[in-house]
Chains A and B, each alone.
Chain A
Amino acid sequence: MSPIVELKDVHKSFGSLEVLKGVTFEVNKGEVAAIIGQSGSGKSTALRCMDRLETIQGGSMLICGHQLHDTDVDLKALRRDVGIVFQSYNLFPHLTVAQNIMLAPRMVKGMKQRDAREIADTVIAKVGLREKMDCYPEQLSGGQQQRVAIARSLAMEPKLMLFDEVTSALDPQLTGEVLRVMEQLAADGMTMILVTHEMAFARKVADRVIYMRDGKVHEMGSSDILRTPATPELAAFVSESAEH
């Protein structure tokens, strides 16, 4: 099976600060990859590079068939194929849930109102918020807003979903409802890469766990590496995480 995400020796610096120091990994279609690691190890940067929010300075990155270091990479096509959800939900506050979800299908894909609404109905059902379609973001809890943000991304029918610590701003109860949505997505066969601090969740849904340390992949493997880490650094990280 050919990988849908392929990073080879990726380098990225902000000024003189080298944040990614040669990152290499692959993710196959339908797989769930969890990126874990200490704060500042470059997880968000790696994810942001995959949607070309940041440009890389070395190595190569192939995402859903798009070579990201090409200067003529088709950003519009890339962003059709890739959905990304952040810790801060970033819903558009002046639009209802339905309008938030329909904006991109209408603007980017040129869909008619009716077709966009149909898609919105489908994706909102996936995140279990049908009754909130006409609410404004401020009328929703953090967990509900994050689920809408996921639905908004799904409405573009991406081939790959990226999640950057999407539950970090939520209390445990709300975290659960967002994780359940993501688990269902994984079960439906969506290819996902998630940066997460939820070790239990990573253990449960991830086919591949990538432990990043100091801008590099320090250890990588199936979720078994969380139980039986090969490196002392990952072992320390796992036991540290378990304490929280």
Chain B
Amino acid sequence: MIYNFDFGAVLAYWPLLLEGVWTTLRLTLFSTVFGILVGAFCAVVRTGGPAWARWIVSLYVEFIRNTPLLVQSYFLIFGIASMGIRLPILLGAVIALTVNIGAYTTEIVRAGIESIHRGQLEAATCLGLSSTQTYLHVIIRPALERVYPALSSQYVLLMLASSIVSSVGVEELFGISNRIQSETYRNFEIFVVLGVIYLLLAVLVRSGFALLGLAIFPRRRTLGTPL
């Protein structure tokens, strides 16, 4: 059996592929920003909030971590649409991804917060810092610095997992590739190209996180050691 490779047929679709890359990157960027906000907030609630709020956050985290992202996306995009609330598809996808990554972020940041020694809080209290100031300057910042490597990996996974929202009709990289595949029947070639693009994107996201880490954690920049 002879198979004639024809990458040219696939690469001819480069403008489409680029569009897919762009959509994937936007999905990732927005879900990252919102996911970190949601996760940091929920982690603070879960470690320091009133009992009922902790309970709600736990429920959210456990529910999300124990159901498939695919089901969550279907629920948030089709389930809610059937209730008559129509969201632009991209916005729906960002919400679905944010809700998902927010739960994982909560758990990671919570571990960071719990790793902060009690003595740190006591020192802040004795210096007269309010509890909000203590949370901001003495707890959250070092907690984020400590769990930053874990967060980076989680957000690379998010970028890769964003391919799932193609199944609800988002034309991100994977969705676009499916389209190219059905037009060219070049299954092998398209998925090789796709793999390479995802690999490059993962490197990009990882480097982005590394650079951001150097920018926001001066201690790390100076000493180069984990906190």
Contact = CB atoms under 8 A, between A and B. Distances in A.
B129 A90 contact: no
A83 interface: yes
Interface string A87-100: 01011111110000
A79 B223 contact: no
B142 A53 contact: no
Given A83-B126, A94-B141, A153-B127, A136 B223 contact: yes
25 contacts: A53-B122, A53-B126, A76-B130, A79-B126, A79-B128, A80-B128, A82-B126, A86-B122, A86-B123, A92-B123, A92-B142, A94-B217, A94-B227, A95-B219, A104-B129, A107-B129, A107-B130, A107-B133, A108-B127, A108-B129, A108-B133, A136-B219, A138-B223, A149-B123, A156-B127
A84 to B, nearest CB: 5
Nearest to B126: A84
Q: Which 8 A-B pairs have the closest CB atoms?
A: A104-B127, A90-B123, A79-B128, A108-B128, A90-B119, A94-B142, A107-B133, A84-B126
A56 interface: no
Interface of B: 117, 119-120, 122-123, 125-130, 133, 137-138, 141-142, 145, 217, 219, 222-223, 225, 227
Interface of A: 51, 53, 75-76, 79-80, 82-84, 86, 88, 90-96, 103-104, 107-108, 136, 138-139, 149, 152-153, 156
A104 B122 contact: no
A79 B141 contact: no
Residues of B contacting A: mostly: helix
B120 A90 contact: yes
A96 to B, nearest CB: 8
B86 to A, nearest CB: 45
